[in-house]
């Protein structure tokens, strides 16, 4: 039986006021038990009339009180055995109806032998069967009516957007429904389930209808049922489907939430507080790259690891993930004092904090860096130190040269001289056909890493990872949008059609770790990042996920492309191809490297603190 919550029950005004006044109170279990006993008497009397074909004179009035008393005793025993009176009537579900069925069956089993043995009381077995059916129908029907009544009243009283749709009518969806019912205190109401399985649509779960996506996510249906939230409760929903459903719901003004994996439930049970808002990462519409730490085969365990740029977004996540792999010592090196201190405070909570050390140093200070290599003897180096902001580097090209090129040269040179096992540099898709100083400096850094990998007698595996923008990283577009929303807007985008590849910080770090493990030396790793994302669409989603309406609550304005900014990013340069690796999402770019002599000339020209080094970056196209 399905319940249509949008249809309120017509009540006399006085009765409506009475129920409205007491709609937030609960009947005690003893009151419910008493009402069920009254229902037993009423249905027994009705069964007597039915058995007598509604002929008053044909009813067996003799010993009626004794028969009613024995029947009441049978039901009382059954009620206490199955606890059918326990629970909140307005929240009655399949378990409550099951208890009523078992109670009725048990009472019948108890009273039938009495009917055979106590012939004096003139029991009619047909009457007992009719009574049991009447009681079951009226008790279940009564509870459904009460639930529907209070649901209707609650919808009248509730605030805007109190209705909830749950995507997924399976076990996870039912768990979400139960959690919401138990903790919402009737402030929120579950209107229906959405399921793609056509065999389920049209049916119901505990009286809650199962609908199709097309029917439920319609403006009229949403307004009619006072909908405000959509909860996604499907275990292995494809990322593209998750994005599709979420975008439709967000555009209709619904708040989208998601049930966490079962492994994250508290003691194996879901609570309403664990149902979290959907994240921007989940709206990218692609399945995240999954890399297992087990496949690293001891790449980190028991070794001394150096992370440069350790206080940055990528560097700090590298620190977190490397610490989980039991290194002998992790050296977190950065020139920024405050974020390095904050990182140290975070790692203090790790059980192996004694294997962690922070170093304040500038990667462009060759003497300081040489001291770190000599003092600690790192076996694995992750080079994440770099300047990355395009407009700032356009205005300060000398700093991009010093940090991104010379800093990389110093770190790679020391790794080569110290016979470090593995050196992994973090690069960027802006190094592909660069149109700005930052991108060109990172392409030059890729050449520097390749240079040291090709040195005679080299014993270090030098590899590079190249990926797109990182969601949530320091100074990236997402924190900027959130800050602009906090300030009341507007959100600024440089161009309505500008697109970027995006990945999450954990994904970026997993790629860096995997590259360090699988690289034999000289590889430049890229990976399938799915389709590029329009920054304008990202801005729309940030606004809607904040519960606001674009154009009404927050405006989006175009500011024009900045110097050196590209409309579209690329992962491969012209003429570059890729070859597969053991991971289906990770590829090796067949990059076009400069010769040893050309790289040496580039380094010599960069020592003059001028832009002559740019002449060696053939792909550099500043006019585009």
Six-digit token string for 115: 């009917």
CA distance 170 to 179: 14
Six-digit token string for 480: 């900027």
Q: Are 428 and 439 in contact (CB under 8 A)?
A: yes
What does R_g of the chain's alpha carbons equal in angstroms?
35
Q: What is the DSSP letter of 37?
A: H
State which H helix or E strand residue 491 sits in: strand 491-493
DSSP strand pairing (208-211 vs 204-205): antiparallel
> If you search the block for the tokens 């500011």, which residue do you land on?
559
DSSP string of 220-267?
HHHHHTTEEEEEE--TT--HHHHHHHHHHHHHTTPEEEEPPPGGGSBT
Phi, psi (deg, nearest 5) at residue 614: -65, -25
- Residue of 611, 615, 621 lying closest to 400 (CA atoms): 611
Reduced to 3 states (helix: H, G, I; strand: E, B; else coil), residue 377 is coil
Q: What is the DSSP letter of 284?
A: G
Question: Could you count the other beta carbons within 10 Å of the beta carbon of residue 107?
Answer: 26
Active site residues: 430
- Residue of 500, 506, 496 lying closest to 478 (CA atoms): 500
> If you search the block for the tokens 């919550």, which residue do you land on?
5
> If you search the block for the tokens 């034999």, which residue do you land on?
520
């Amino acid at each position: 039986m399905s319940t249509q919550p949008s249809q309120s029950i017509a009540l006399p005004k006085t009765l409506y006021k009475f129920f409205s006044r007491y709609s937030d109170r609960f009947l005690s279990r003893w009151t419910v038990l008493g009402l069920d006993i009254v229902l037993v008497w009423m249905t027994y009397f009705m069964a007597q009339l039915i058995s007598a074909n509604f002929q008053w004179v044909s009813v067996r009035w003799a010993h009626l009180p004794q028969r009613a008393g024995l029947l009441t005793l049978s039901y009382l025993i059954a009620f206490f055995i199955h606890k059918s009176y326990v629970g909140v009537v307005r929240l009655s579900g399949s378990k409550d109806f099951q208890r009523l069925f078992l109670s009725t069956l048990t009472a019948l089993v108890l009273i039938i032998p009495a009917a055979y043995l106590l012939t004096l009381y003139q029991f009619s077995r047909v009457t007992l069967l009719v009574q049991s059916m009447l009681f079951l129908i009226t008790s279940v029907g009564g509870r459904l009516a009460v639930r529907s009544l209070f649901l209707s009243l609650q919808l009248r009283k509730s605030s805007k957007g109190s209705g909830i749709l749950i995507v997924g009518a399976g076990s996870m969806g039912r768990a979400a429904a139960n959690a919401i019912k138990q903790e919402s205190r009737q402030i929120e109401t579950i209107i229906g389930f959405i399921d793609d399985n056509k065999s389920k649509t049209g049916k119901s779960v505990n009286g809650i209808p199962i609908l199709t996506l097309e029917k439920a996510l319609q403006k009229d249906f949403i307004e009619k049922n006072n909908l405000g939230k959509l909860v996604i409760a499907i275990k292995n929903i494809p990322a593209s489907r998750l994005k599709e459903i979420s975008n439709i719901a967000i555009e209709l003004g619904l708040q989208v939430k998601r049930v966490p994996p079962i492994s994250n439930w508290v003691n194996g049970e879901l609570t309403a507080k664990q149902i979290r808002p959907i994240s921007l990462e989940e709206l990218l519409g692609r399945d995240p790259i999954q890399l297992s730490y087990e496949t690293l085969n001891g790449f980190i365990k028991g070794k001394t690891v150096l992370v440069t740029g350790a206080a940055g977004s990528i560097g700090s996540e590298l620190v977190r993930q490397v610490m989980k792999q039991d290194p002998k010592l992790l050296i977190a090196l950065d020139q920024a004092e405050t974020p390095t201190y904050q990182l140290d405070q975070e790692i203090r909570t790790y059980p192996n904090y004694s294997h962690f050390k922070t170093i304040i140093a500038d990667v462009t200070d060759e003497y300081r860096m040489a001291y770190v290599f000599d003092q600690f003897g790192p076996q694995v180096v992750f080079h994440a130190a770099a300047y990355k902001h395009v407009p700032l580097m356009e205005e300060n090209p000398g700093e991009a040269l010093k940090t991104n090129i010379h800093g990389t040269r110093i770190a790679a040179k020391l790794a080569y001289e110290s016979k470090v096992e593995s050196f992994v540099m973090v690069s960027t898709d802006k190094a592909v056909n660069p149109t700005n100083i930052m991108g060109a400096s990172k392409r030059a850094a890729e050449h520097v890493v390749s240079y040291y990998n090709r040195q005679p007698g080299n014993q270090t595996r030098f590899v590079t990872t190249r990926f797109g923008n990182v969601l949530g990283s320091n100074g990236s577009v997402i924190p900027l949008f959130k800050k602009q929303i906090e300030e009341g807007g507007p959100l600024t985008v440089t161009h309505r059609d500008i697109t970027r590849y995006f990945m999450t910080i954990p994904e970026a770090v997993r790629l860096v770790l995997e590259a360090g493990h699988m690289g034999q030396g000289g590889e430049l790793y890229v990976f399938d990042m799915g389709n590029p994302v329009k920054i304008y669409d990202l801005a729309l989603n940030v606004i809607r996920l904040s519960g606001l309406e674009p154009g009404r609550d927050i405006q989006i304005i175009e500011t024009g492309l900045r110097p050196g900014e590209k409309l579209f990013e690329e992962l491969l340069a012209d003429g570059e191809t890729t070859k597969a690796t053991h991971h289906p999402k990770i590829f090796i770019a067949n990059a076009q490297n400069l010769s040893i002599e050309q790289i040496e000339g580039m380094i010599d020209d960069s020592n003059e603190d001028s832009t002559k080094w740019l002449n060696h970056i053939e792909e550099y196209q500043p006019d585009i």
